[in-house]
Each structure stands twice: as C-alpha cells, then as structure tokens.
C-alpha cells in the first residue's frame, strides 16, 4: 500500500468543488437547508483518528512497553486512514462548491445560514483529512536499528550491501 499523496487529495477536492458548484447552480432553489449534523460527526472522527494515531505511534516506537499490536490491526488502521482522507477530501470539495455558489446570495437569510454551515463543514472535513494523514503516518513501521544500535537508512530491499 502506498502513502496517500496530497496531490491526489487536492485533485479530488478540486474535481468535487467543480461538480458540486455546477450541480448547485442548476438545482439550488429545490435543495433543502444544509444539515448541521455532519460537523460534529467529522470533528469526532478527526479527534478519534488523532488519538488512535498517537496510541499506535507510541506502541510502535517502544515495543515491549504494552500489549503488542497485531500487524493486521495496523494495516486495517492504515486502510481506515486512507479511506478517511479520501472521503473527507471529497466531502470538503462537495461542500466547498456549495459554499462558493451560496456566497453570491448572502443577502438572503437561508443562503447566509447555509454559508455558515458549509464553511464549518469544510473546516471539519479539513481537520479529518489532517487527522487521517497523521494516523496513516503513525502506522508506518519503524526502521530497525543496525547492529551498532543506529537506524539503517538504506533501502531494506537492496540485495547487495
């Protein structure tokens, strides 16, 4: 599994912004108010992934200090982090496209309320992206030390040393 690239997330975000803005431009009058419920859910996920990442990082950095982590559990957490970052980038893009359209209608009450909710949702989704990237980074296996106790900075897949 490869590390999630920020360029992939930025591309997905931009694509979702464009698609959302085009869709909202055509259908805004028929849309209900933007729900507030996504904000606490995204923030709760960001907090949970940050705490889990901190725990995993500590347990991988100091083996033998507690119950060892199963390698499959770390792989599952890395997959969760990857899925969370991609999903949060897409949500942020979709809501940002909505926000861009609504910014032109701030003189009306409902679009002004939707702009506040959309802005908070974009921030919450951004927090989840950062937390998911942190969790993914924490799931990396530490480099084993050399015979002299120093980390081996060479590629571990080299055949000839």
DSSP letters, 56-105, are: HHHHHHSTTSSSPPPHHHHHHHHHHHHHHHHHHHHHHHHHHHHHHHHGGG
- When pLDDT is cut at 50, 70 and 90, the band that residue 161 belongs to is very low
Q: Assess if residue 3 is contained within a domain.
A: no
- When pLDDT is cut at 50, 70 and 90, the band that residue 85 belongs to is very high
Domain that holds residue 126: 39-138
Q: Assess if residue 4 is contained within a domain.
A: no
Give the pLDDT mean for 113-118.
94
How many structural domains are present in the chain?
A: 1
Q: Assess if residue 147 is contained within a domain.
A: no
What is the distance of C-alpha 160 from the center of its chain? 38
Q: Assess if residue 89 is contained within a domain.
A: yes
pTM recorded for the entire structure: 0.83
Dihedral over Cα of 84, 75, 7, 126: its sign? positive
């Amino acid at each position: 599994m490869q590390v999630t690239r920020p360029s992939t997330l930025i591309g997905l975000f931009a694509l979702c912004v464009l698609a959302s803005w085009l869709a909202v431009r055509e259908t805004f009058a028929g849309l209900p108010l933007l729900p507030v419920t996504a904000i606490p859910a995204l923030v709760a996920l960001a907090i949970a992934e940050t705490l889990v990442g901190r725990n995993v990082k500590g347990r991988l950095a100091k083996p033998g200090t507690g119950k060892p982590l199963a390698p499959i559990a770390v792989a599952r957490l890395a997959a969760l982090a990857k899925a969370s970052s991609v999903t949060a980038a897409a949500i942020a893009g979709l809501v940002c496209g909505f926000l861009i359209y609504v910014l032109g209608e701030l003189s009306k009450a409902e679009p002004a309320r939707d702009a506040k909710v959309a802005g908070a949702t974009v921030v919450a989704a951004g927090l989840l992206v950062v937390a998911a990237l942190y969790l993914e980074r924490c799931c990396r296996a530490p480099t084993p030390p050399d015979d002299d106790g120093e980390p081996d900075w060479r590629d571990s897949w080299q055949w000839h040393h």
